[in-house]
Structure formats: structure tokens, C-alpha cells
Amino acid sequence: MSGFDKVVGSYAEAMAGLEDNMTVVAGGFGLCGIPENLIKEIKRKGTRGLTIASNNCGTDNCGLGLLLQDKQISKMIASYVGENALFEAQMMSGELEVELTPQGTLAEKMRAGGAGIPAFYTATGYGTPVGEGKEVREFNGRHYILEEAIQGDFSIAKAWKADRYGNLMFRKTARNFNPMAITAGKVAVVEVEEIVEPGELDPDEIHLPGIYVNRLIKGTFEKTIEQRTVRSA
């Protein structure tokens, strides 16, 4: 790496420095737009005691679900964790701590974490279990709870296309949590389908500027579909 070139040579290099008990912020929605190879690298490394913030935790055999197989995750911050038997078993046995977080609050927590905003007020979750123990304030006659930002030691994310400087473009709904997840990590690692030379992407069409990205790697992706639903012609 030199100058603004963020490209690393291997997945081992991409995840170098990840240690036990660290916090990882991950992009993806269901299995769409997940950093599948970076997750596999964490599995290979065997890092344990991880706190992971991600909308979902994959399925039994896919995505972040892979890290449950060897019990590498100790705490999960997510909005929806259905469709995962292993997850349920580890949660029920107490091996896995779960902080259920509303989806919009989770996205905003990551955005705030990356934008230097320590906390924000939101109406979401007021008067529900999510609001318990949190500061409440009234603005214009409505109640809001104080939610704190999320920051990670690492972020792992998937984008579609990048230039070597880490300027990113996402594709369709595979964007989801990825841009915010990237900004919220001290070391932001992004895997993409294609890397081009700086200058080849139209600056007006870059979804996330390379300033947020520390390491970049090109991968090949399985892109597993959770619910293949079609109509007949």
C-alpha cells in the first residue's frame, strides 16, 4: 500500500489485527450485500469473544451464521435474528448475548458512530422494552429516547465497484447497511467485485468516498439467495 492505494493482497492481510473480544460492525441485510469472504476469514482465524453489530446474523450455514458454529460471537447487536436455529440455541443457553435494536435505530447508531455524534434522540422504542433504562426527553410534546452511537474496532462490508483509492459504488439493495457500517469502524475493510484505477469512476456517482475505507480487496461471491421468489411469465 502506498499513498491512497487501499488494495491489500490477501484476506489474511485484510483482517490482520483483529483480536479476541473486539467489536466488529458488519454490513448486509439478510444475506444480501454481506462481506461473505471477510466473514470466512474471521472463521478461519478463529477470533473469539466478538461483539458484532449487524442487522441480521446470517443463516445456519451462511454469512455471520458461520461464526456461530465455533461460538466466536459473544454478543450480537441486531434487529432481526429469526431463521437461525444455532442462534436461537446459543441465545437460550446464555452463551450468546443479544441486544435487539430497531432497524432504523441500528442504522442511525452506525451513521452517528461514523459521523462523530455520540448519541441521538429518537421516538423509536419509547415506551417499549428497547426504551427501558434510557434517558427520555420531550420535544414539542412528544417523547424521545436517547440512543448511543456504535463504533467498532473493525468494520467489514461489501460494495460492488471501487477504485484503488477506496471510492465505492454499491449495487441495488446490496447497499443497505454497508455505507454506515464502513464509517463506524476504526479499521474499515471492504471487499468488492471489481477494482478500477482512480479516475475511472465518475466522482458524481461515488456512493461512499474512499476516506472512510482503510483496506480494499477484490473477491468472488456466492451471493446466496435466502428467499428465491419468482412470478410466472
The DSSP string of 25-73 is EE--BTTBT--HHHHHHHHHHT--SEEEE-S---BTTBTTHHHHHTT-E
Q: Cα dist. 40→14, 65, 82, 132 in Å?
A: 12, 10, 21, 36
Cβ distance to another protein smaller for residue 16 or 195: 195
Cβ distance to another protein smaller for residue 47 or 183: 183
Binds another protein by CB under 8 A, chosen from 161, 164, 175, 215 = 175
- Contact set for another protein, span 182-201 (CB under 8 A): none
Cβ distance to another protein smaller for residue 50 or 180: 180
Q: Taking CB under 8 A as the rule, which mask of x and - marks residues 38-57 in contact with another protein?
A: -----------------x--
Is 133 near another protein (CB under 8 A)?
A: no
Cβ atoms 79, 57 nearer than 8 A: no
Block residue for cell numbers 453489530: 53
Is 140 near another protein (CB under 8 A)?
A: no
Binds another protein by CB under 8 A, chosen from 130, 159, 190, 192 = 130
Residue type, 187: V
Is 30 near another protein (CB under 8 A)?
A: yes
Q: How many CB atoms lie within 10 A of CB 139?
A: 9
